[in-house]
Structures are given as structure tokens and as C-alpha cells.
Structure 1
Amino acid sequence: MAWVAGAGMLIGLLAIALGIMTLCTGWILPTARRHVTRPQLHGLGALATGASLLMQGLFYFRILPSASWEVRFFGGNALLFTGLLLIATSQLLSPRRSPDHTDPSGA
């Protein structure tokens, strides 16, 4: 069971690194680049998802002081679903239009 928690922590660290990179530079993985219209939301979602995965592993290995199982379960799930919702929102919202561009209809 320890390898599952360790793999989750590794994926969580990778998601946190990608979220920080997206927030700092705007860079997104090439596989998601076509779909993401709001990189900041995508970066925040990656941070929340990665933090959820990392915290579950830290609780499992008793690195963080243990809270009750309800707090760990519902808190971790709330953080995970918040991150996934932010990632989905970053792909579903229409792209922002900059005020520099003129109206293509010429009006």
C-alpha cells in the first residue's frame, strides 16, 4: 500500500510543479495547449489537485500530524474536486478578447 501513496505523492509533486510553471510563465503541456483558454485557472487547478494528492501521502506516512479521518477524507476530496473544477473551467470558458483588437465587422 505504501507504493500507492508514494506514487500519488510523486504525481502530486509533478502537478504542483506544472501548476507553478503555468502560473509563472503561462506554459501548458502540449497535449492540453489546444483546449485551455485560461492558463491562470488551469495553473490554480493543477496546484489544488497536486496539493490534495501530496497531502494524502503526507498523512499516510505520518509526516503531517494526523487529523480525524473525516477531515482528511472530506478535506482532500474537496481540494481535489475544486482543482478538477478549475481545470475544467479553464477549458470550457471562451477565450478573452483583448481591447486592442478592433471589431472584425468594422462597426
Structure 2
Amino acid sequence: MAWVVAANALLGVLAIALGTVTLRTGWVLPTARRHVTRPRLHGVGVLLIGASLLLQSLLYFEILPSVSWEARFYGGNALLLGGMLVLVLGHVLPLRRSERHALPPGP
């Protein structure tokens, strides 16, 4: 069971790194590039998901101070579902265009 949680922690660290890169540079993985309309929201969502995965793993290995199982369960799920919601918003919201770019050039 410990190797599953360790793999979960590794995925959490990877997600945090990808979310940070997306927030700082706007770069999105090539497999998601076509679908992402708002890279900043996508980055925040990936960061929240990564934080949830890493936090639950650290609590399992008792690296962080122990809290009740209810706090771990509800807190981890709230982070995970919040991250998924923000991630979906980064995919489905339309592109933001300024008024200047939306109008065709005129004489």
C-alpha cells in the first residue's frame, strides 16, 4: 500500500511543477493545448489537484502533524474537487478577447 501512496505523492509533485510552469509561462502540455482556453485557470486547477495529492500522501506517512480522518477526507476532497472545477472552467470558458481585437480593421 505504501508504494501506491508514494506514487500518489510523486504525481502530486509533478502536478505542482506543471501548474507552476503553466502559471509562470502560460505553457500547457501538448496533449491539452488544443482544449485549454484559459491557461491561468488551468494552472491553478492543476496546482490544487497536485496539492491535494501531495497533502494526502504526506498525512498518510505521518510527515505532517496528524489530524482527524474527517479533516483529511473532507479537506483532501475539497481541494481535489475544487481543482477539478477550476480545471474544467479553464477548458470550457470562451477565450477572452479585447474589444480592439474583436473588430476587423476598418478604414
TM-score normalised by L of structure 1 = 0.94
In structure 2, the gaps of 5 or more residues are: none
Query: C-alpha distance in 2, partners of 1:105/1:82?
Result: 41
- Partner of 2:33, secondary structure, is coil
- Residue 56 of structure 1: aligned partner: 56
TM-score normalised by L of structure 2 = 0.94
Query: C-alpha distance in 2, partners of 1:102/1:52?
Result: 39
Determine whether 1:103 maps to 2:103: yes
Large movers: runs of 4+ above 3 Å: none
- Residue 68 of structure 1: aligned partner: 68
Letter of the aligned partner of 1:71 in structure 2?
A
- Residue 85 of structure 1: aligned partner: 85
Tell me the CA shift for residue 102 of structure 1: 4.5
Tell me the CA shift for residue 55 of structure 1: 0.4
Tell me the CA shift for residue 20 of structure 1: 0.2
Query: C-alpha distance in 2, partners of 1:105/1:89?
Result: 31
Tell me the CA shift for residue 105 of structure 1: 9.2
RMSD of aligned Cα (Å): 1.3
Q: Deviations over 1:36-95 (max 9, x none)?
A: 000000000000000000001100111000100000000000000000000000000000
- Partner of 2:99, secondary structure, is coil
Query: C-alpha distance in 2, partners of 1:57/1:8?
Result: 7
Tell me the CA shift for residue 103 of structure 1: 1.5
Identical pairs, percent: 63
In structure 1, the gaps of 5 or more residues are: none
Specify whether residues 15 and 98 from structure 1 end up closer, same or farther in structure 2 by C-alpha distance, changes over 3 A only: same
